[in-house]
Amino acid sequence: MIDPITLSVIEAGLQQVCDEMDLTFSRAAFSPVIAEANDRSDGIYDAADGSLIAQGAGGLPVFVGTMQASTRTLIAMIAKGEAAAPKPGDIYIVNDPYLGGTHLMDVRFAKPFYRGGKIFCWLSNTGHWPDTGGAVPGGFSASATSVEQEGLRLPPVRLFKEGTLDAEIYAIICSNIRVASQRIGDVKAQAAALMVGEERLSALMDRYGDDTVAGAIAELRRRAARQMESFIAEIPEGRHEATAWVDSDGVVNEPLAIRLAVTRQGEGLRFDFTGSSAPCTGPMNSVRATTLSSVYLAMRHIFPEVPISAGAFEPLEVTGIEGTFLDAHYPRPVSGCAAEVSQRIAEAVFAALAPALPKRVTAAPAGTSGNFALGGHDPETGRDFVMYQLSGGGYGGAASGDGISNGCSTIGISKAPPVEIMEQQFPVLYHHYRLREGSGGAGEHRGGFGLDYMVELRRGEARASFVMDHGRFGPQGALGGSDGAVNEVTVWQNGTPITPEHLSKAQDIPLKPGDRVEVRTPGGGGYGNPARRDPEAVAHDLAMGYYSEAELRALFPGQ
């Protein structure tokens, strides 16, 4: 039996190993989406079944489940002889969405960690590469009808063999992606993060002993399961239902339904998605690993006290996704699964459980990553470029107060790269970057405000593509609160404003110098009856210019 103090110290030590991997990855990466936006994650996984042991606190929550699924798949493929057997120093690379992934731009590395000549665990990380080939720069092809149009798909192969980069495999990768000369910085950063993790984990195990650390890991998993079960007990028994909507799949201009019934059964919780829309033509399909991870991250939002461990997922059962767009199989396109559909799944969980857990669950947040990619040639530098911009939005109101404005997305802690960095690296100019005042849904506690930015191409020619959502339906209010404002995208070509057919999904839009793209992200949903809002809070919103007097009279009657 491990004493509580040693257990706590080892738990913190495992977390610190992952945090240092995260820090190394971001500091060494070349691409702003990793170096500045922190669109990455690092973790430690069980040698036998790939179960999550620990993950960096600064990593994207959506990768909690997908990296576990990916590691499990890799272990199974090695056992079957479908992937090469590992040796010390090997690092596998994989981005295949159907093998426990997300979309093709999320590239995963996995490294076996050896103790005494045997694999003790796996170290793994995921980084969002700004381009993996495909029909459009950045990979977000809004009208893709097969995964091949989205980019290069890699099965698990050893990119590093006994510590040495395989030049032939790397050449194949570079031959299929844009701006290939810049990827070596991200590749080496990703590998360096795993090497740092190897050093730090070795030091931890040298200090406490292999058996003690292994025993602590098993005990932490058991405790995480028990803790999640104790929180599930707060949920009233019965069936809690909700529906969330995806605007369209980017090809067929009709909404997709996510129908969810959450049922508490004793110490467990079942999430049944029966009745959700069928697999779609465009890229808004979600692979199984992402769908499960979306449920896990939603529960992490509701019960943040539960540690990040595979044990926390054990009381959660997901059913009813077979035959729906939430269980995509090859060759369905999936570029929108992690960044957009995952957030709609989380929104369905929030909407279902808000009446049951009013003190814990918020109204829906903005629920879109605002994926905007711009690729072209800069005549001043003589180089091609691929720029990827993500953006925040409003959080939903809660029992404790108003939602945060311009917060990061539901699926992670990634922040938008600084405007100064983007203007320095790419031939663009931001005309404004500000709060989208008035976009929060009305409620006793209103939703937070979204973001409003406008970016202009300064020189050369480029093509713009974006895969976003919530352009047709705003983030849902809770317990009588109003929905937040919808996402709005406007493209200005030769001074003429154009709204895309699919509202916030389009691809291959040609831009010339002076052309602009404006994005106005959603505000969060409101929480509670707007008529009960504190008059002082209404007066403060007016004094700050968040709403006009006319807007306040319409949104908050009687105030």
Report the chain (559 residues): mean pLDDT per 10 consecutive residues: 93 97 96 92 97 91 89 98 97 97 96 97 96 93 96 97 97 95 93 98 98 97 96 94 97 97 94 98 97 95 91 96 98 93 96 97 95 96 94 96 92 83 97 96 97 98 96 97 97 96 95 98 97 94 90 78
pLDDT of residue 559: 64
pLDDT of residue 65: 85
Residues 453/433, Cβ–Cβ less than 8 Å = yes
- C-alpha to C-alpha distance for 171 and 180, rounded to whole angstroms: 9
DSSP string of 231-287, one letter each residue? HHTTSPSEEEEEEEEE---SSS-S-EEEEEEEEEETTEEEEE-TTPPPPPSSS----
Q: Which residues does residue 238 pair with via DSSP β-bridges, in sequence order?
A: 264
- 497 by Cβ neighbours in 10 Å (0-12 / 13-18 / 19+) ranks as exposed
204 sits in which H/E element? helix 183-208
Cis peptide before 510 (omega within 30 of 0): no
Alpha-carbon distance values, 449 to 156, 394, 476 (Å):
42, 4, 14
Contacts of 371 (CB under 8 A, 6+ apart): 138, 140, 336, 339, 340, 388, 389, 390, 466, 467, 468
**Which tokens sit at 124?**
């793994």
- C-alpha to C-alpha distance for 367 and 353, rounded to whole angstroms: 17
DSSP string of 60-106, one letter each residue? -TTHHHHHHHHHHHHHHHHHHTSSPPP-TT-EEEE--GGGT-S-TTE
User: What is the value of pTM for the model shown?
Assistant: 0.95
pLDDT of residue 558: 67
Assign 466 to helix, strand or coil: strand
- Chain centroid to Cα 279, Å, comes to 21
- C-alpha to C-alpha distance for 176 and 172, rounded to whole angstroms: 7
Residues 35/418, Cβ–Cβ less than 8 Å = no
